[in-house]
Amino acid sequence: MHFDLFSLLPEVFPPYLNSSMMKRAQEKGLLSFGVHNIRDWTQDKHHVTDDNPYGGGGGMIMKPEPIFDAVEDVIGSPPDCPIILLTPQGRVFNQDEAQRLAREPRLALLCGRYEGVDERVRAHLVTDEISIGDYVLTGGELPALILIDALTRLIPGVLGAENGAANDSHATGLLEGAHYTRPAEYRGWDVPAILRSGDHGKVAQWRREQALIRTFERRPEMLEKTELSKKDKVFLEKIKKGKA
């Protein structure tokens, strides 16, 4: 999968993109990036990328010309991949959206700064607008990294089979239950005996039940949208009666 990032702060990306899982994914040839400084597409002496809003008011607006020129130069016109603007006005990102976008071979991510981008960028260049949550950041760079991170771990081959994404919280429609590692006892707190029993069937059942308990306690609304087996429903009734 290839990402083209368009930003006025391109220097923030390499440290994260060249670490850990994303570094390995690049080394395996599963992931690649183009990081583009929108300022490189300005035509004027001072390389201006923003200007005052028509009609007055506070804040600066990112000018359309360098953004159009950068994206059209790198991606082509008409574009052959989604051009995503990161903005608090976008559709709120979630795991379903991550799964949908992870099927794309290439994505362009446009990171806004200041008060926003000229409306003509939204209307005539961008194909999607995504928000990472109902709060406002100073720019789209961190949201872009979050989106890339969420998508990267869904690319086949990036995570090992052992710790794949299939059982992630949200991927199953349930939150994951508790995890433990060594030591078996720490400060008098024991790892549940069932996890050490070696009985894979019982461990799987316990994990499913813990996921149901945790989801019921923390995000009960998720249970409405999730496919539950007969066994799950029986267990859920037990939870509701406080008998789990």
Instruction: Please tell me the distance from the alpha carbon of residue 207 to that of residue 219, in angstroms, as a whole number.
Output: 17
Tokens of 45: 């002496």
Contact 99/44 with Cβ under 8 angstroms? Answer: no
Contact region with ligand ADE (CB under 6 A), list: 6-14, 101-109, 125-133, 165-173: 125-133
Contact between 87 and ligand ADE per CB under 6 A: yes
Nearer to ligand ADE, 134 or 224 (CB): 134
Q: Give catalytic status of residue 64 as yes or no.
A: no
Contact 204/196 with Cβ under 8 angstroms? Answer: no
What values do phi and psi take at 38, rounded to 5?
Answer: -55, -30
Helices (H), the chain: 13-17, 20-27, 64-75, 95-101, 119-124, 141-152, 200-218, 221-224, 230-240
Contact between 222 and ligand ADE per CB under 6 A: no
Q: Give catalytic status of residue 115 as yes or no.
A: yes
Among 84, 88, 109, 236, binds ligand ADE (CB under 6 A): 88
- To ligand ADE, the closest distance from the beta carbon of 111 in angstroms equals 8
Catalytic-labelled residue, pool 66, 88, 118, 141: 88
Catalytic-labelled residue, pool 4, 66, 153, 209: 153
- To ligand ADE, the closest distance from the beta carbon of 125 in angstroms equals 16
Q: Give catalytic status of residue 105 as yes or no.
A: no
Contact between 86 and ligand ADE per CB under 6 A: yes
Instruction: Please tell me the distance from the alpha carbon of residue 14 to that of residue 228, in angstroms, as a whole number.
Output: 42
Q: Give catalytic status of residue 96 as yes or no.
A: no
Q: What is the DSSP letter of 24?
A: H
Sign of the dihedral defined by the CA atoms of residues 39, 43, 46, 50, in that order: negative
Contact region with ligand ADE (CB under 6 A), list: 76-84, 96-104, 139-147, 201-209: 139-147
Among 25, 62, 102, 132, binds ligand ADE (CB under 6 A): 132
Which positions touch ligand ADE (CB under 6 A)? 86-88, 131-133, 135-137, 139-140, 143
Active-site residues, by number, are 88, 115, 153, 168
